[in-house]
Amino acid sequence: MLAIGECMAELAPLDRPGDYHLGFAGDTFNTAWYLARLRPDVTVSFLTAIGTDSLSQKMRAAIAEAGIDDSHIRTLPERTVGLYLISLDRGERSFTYWRGQSAARHLADDPEALARAIEAADLVYFSGITLAILEREARDRLLGTLRRAREAGKRVAFDPNLRPRLWTGPEEMTETVMRGASVSDIALPSFEDEALWFGDADPEATADRYRAASVETVIVKNGADPVHFRHGATGGTVAVPPLSEVVDTTAAGDSFNAAILAGLDGEEAMPALILRACRLAGIVVRGKGALVPFVPASLAD
């Protein structure tokens, strides 16, 4: 599996106000991190770009220590990595970003390196944030390479991850996100965002829209409400196990996605796979920060 996107330095709040923990996280990287723990038998790689400064090198070391292949990470001497700070309000999080000099904005600038990385993977995973941080030419290059990879038999998974502040406007965001869907086999949208920016009346409308874009498997996350899915000729809903406590919702969707991707090569029915993904997300929201340690066996029935 190859994840493509931006990893950033993360400042996560500790128990005492004003104290923060420095870590490394980012939507597609978070999914790769959780997948590497769920499936140690699978080679999980990450494609991004970093600088040569000490923070960039700490990030690279953290990626390797997580058991993630770092051979597709480009190094750009004139750049560094982005930074974000998490603020919490009764479990809901908001972010403050510093990413103007982020090397990840140039992750798709080398077409040969991009093609080699994707060719080496069976499953490729990217997001709306991956698309948003790229310049138009690099964005077109990535989507074209993914389209050709899908036509050649690779599986492509996509989380729309709608973040309007990263785009010039809503129209650019929604149009580009649907271009991303058009090169994907699997889409993992969140209904709240989809309803806000696409006007979907319900999760079924979200699933219908992505299926119309040629996506075979659509799994619509909806917070504490049931997950809706379409998978080939099947479809349905899965109830989310109730939670007594929510500490930090950072990476809830990213971890959910990891559990889905981890089971796609098996024989497990989609409802059981979704339930396991909900259990992992339930563990993650009871911890602080994006990367929460867990025991894979705890996700079993």
Cβ atoms of 79 and 103 within 8 Å: the answer is yes
Position 12 confidence tier, pLDDT thresholds 50, 70, 90:
confident
Dihedral angle of Cα 21, 25, 31, 32, to the nearest 10 degrees: -110
70, 193, 248, 254: the active-site residue: 254
**What is the pLDDT, as a whole number, of residue 250?**
85
Instruction: Give the confidence band of 17 by pLDDT, cuts at 50, 70, 90.
Output: confident
Classified as helix, coil or strand, 50 is strand
* Integer CA distances (angstroms), 160 to 99, 120, 176, 177, 270, in order: 20, 24, 10, 6, 20
List pLDDT tens digits, range 197-220: 999 999 999 999 999 999 999 999
Adjacent-strand bridge partners of 126: 158
Q: What is the mean pLDDT of the chain?
A: 95
**For 172-191, how does the pLDDT look when each residue is reduced to its tens digit (9 = 90+)?**
999 999 999 999 999 999 99
Please say whether the beta carbons of 289 and 271 come within 8 A: no
Write out the DSSP string of 142-168: HHHHHHHHHHTT-EEEEE----GGGSS
Instruction: Show me where the domains of the chain are located.
Output: 2-299
Could you tell me the pLDDT band of residue 100, with boundaries at 50, 70 and 90? confident
Kindly state the average pLDDT of the residues 38-63. Answer: 97
Q: What angle do the packed helices 27-38 and 252-263 form, to 10 degrees? A: 50
Q: Give the residue-averaged pLDDT of 82-105.
A: 85
Compute the average pLDDT of residues 80-97. 83
For residue 154, what pLDDT is reported? 97
Architecture of domain 2-299: 3-Layer(aba) Sandwich (3.40)
254 is catalytic: yes
What is residue 91's predicted lDDT score, i.e. its pLDDT? 63
- What span, in angstroms and rounded, lies between the C-alpha atoms of 109 and 33? 24
- Calculate what percentage of the chain has a pLDDT beyond 90: 83
Q: Is 264 left (phi over 0), alpha (psi -120 to 50) or beta?
A: alpha
Question: Any alpha helices (H) in 39-166, and if so which ranges?
Answer: 54-65, 111-119, 128-132, 136-151
The rounded distance, in Å, linking the Cα atoms of 58 and 20 is 17
> If 0-12 CB within 10 Å is exposed, 13-18 middle and 19+ buried, where does residue 154 land?
middle
Average pLDDT score over residue span 30-54: 97
SS3 297: helix
pLDDT grade, residue 6 (50/70/90)? very high
The DSSP symbol for 166 reads G
Pull the structure tokens for residue 42: 């699978």
**Which residues is 2 bridged to in the sheet?**
45, 124
pTM of the model: 0.95
Q: What does the pLDDT read at residue 36? A: 97
- Sorting pLDDT into bands at 50, 70 and 90, what band is 86? confident
Residues sharing a CB contact under 8 Å with residue 289, sequence separation 6 or more, in sequence order: 10, 12, 21, 23, 25, 86, 248, 250, 251
Residue 237 has pLDDT above 90, yes or no: yes
Q: What would the two tokens of residue 36 be?
A: 């590497």
pLDDT at 44: 98
Cα Rg, the chain, nearest whole Å: 18
Cα 37 to the center of its chain, rounded Å: 15
Tell which residue, 218, 237, 217, has the closest CA to residue 278: 237
In terms of DSSP bridges, do strands 123-127 and 2-4 run parallel, antiparallel, or are they unpaired? parallel
| Residue 235, CA distances (Å) to 87, 203, 230, 279 in order | 37, 12, 4, 20
Angle of the 136-151 helix axis to the 170-182 helix axis, nearest 10 = 20
Condensed to tens digits (0 to 9), the pLDDT of residues 132-166 reads 999 999 999 999 999 999 999 999 999 999 999 99
Residue 15 pLDDT > 90, yes or no?
Answer: no
For residue 241, which amino acid is it?
P
